[in-house]
Amino acid sequence: MPNLGALREEYLRGGLSRENLNENPIEQFSTWFQQALDAEIAEPNAMTLATVDPENRPWQRTVLLKAYDEHGFVFYTNYESRKAKHLLTNPHASILFPWVTLERQVIINGIVEKVSTAESLKYFVSRPFSSRLGAWVSQQSSVISSRSLLEAKLQELKNKFKDGDVPLPSFWGGYRIKPTDIEFWQGGAGRVHDRFLYSKASNGNWEIDRLAP
């Protein structure tokens, strides 16, 4: 095994202070997201999504953020996938943006609901032909015997939808995570990092606390 104990970086990009924080966490997220784009980090909208199964076991996977605003954070997936089954019995989810090259992470917890069919359709038709077919090809998370099954299915679908008009599958669409807690983490020198947690109060306002690193 390589000497993992010796792998250590000092986080020197600069701290995060209460006075520089936006009172609104969505606007704060927007600022950081733009900075992630400007820094040209790979897949800045890739996020780890955690869900919980009926036995209370957490599961994680990467999905892509496709929209965000004050109503929440949207990703698209298969409504019959493992994650979808978890969300049916437990709508709590957690997402994490691992913007490690910026010495940052953002963690968002919330309650998930499906987006409207109209919203899913609007996004679906904006996807390239291959991605629209991709949504049809796979019964996501089911056990399959070989890759060739998928390739045969893809060929069949290419013929079926050769005019390019691919309908929105009823089993595919978006979820919106309506945030209840949003934490911004910025690495600091000597492992003295900055963490700020925005929590949604019952009156709908966001409260901000500094957390120990």
The torsion angle over the Cα atoms of residues 65, 67, 69 and 74, rounded to 10 degrees, is -60
131 near ligand FMN, judged by CB under 6 A: no
As measured in angstroms, the least distance from the Cβ of 188 to ligand FMN is 28
| Count of residues in contact with ligand FMN, rule CB under 6 A | 16
Residues 6+ apart with CB under 8 A from 131: none
> With contact defined as beta carbons under 8 Å apart, do 24 and 206 qualify?
yes
| Ranges of H-type helices in 161-207 | none
> Which of these ranges, 31-39, 60-68, 127-135, 193-201, lies near ligand FMN under the rule CB under 6 A?
60-68
Active-site residue, 191 included = yes
Q: Does 127 bind ligand FMN (CB under 6 A)?
A: no
Of 35, 138, 140, 199, the residue at the interface with ligand FMN (CB under 6 A) is: 140
Of 127 and 200, nearer to ligand FMN (C-beta) is 127
Question: Among residues 141, 169, 171, 199, which is the contact residue for ligand FMN, using CB under 6 A?
Answer: 141
Query: Which one-letter amino acid corresponds to residue 37?
Result: L
Within 10 angstroms of residue 121's Cβ, the number of other Cβ atoms is 15
CA distance 110 to 164: 37
Residues near ligand FMN (CB under 6 A) are 43, 46, 59, 61-64, 75-78, 81-83, 140-141
Which residues belong to the active site?
A: 191
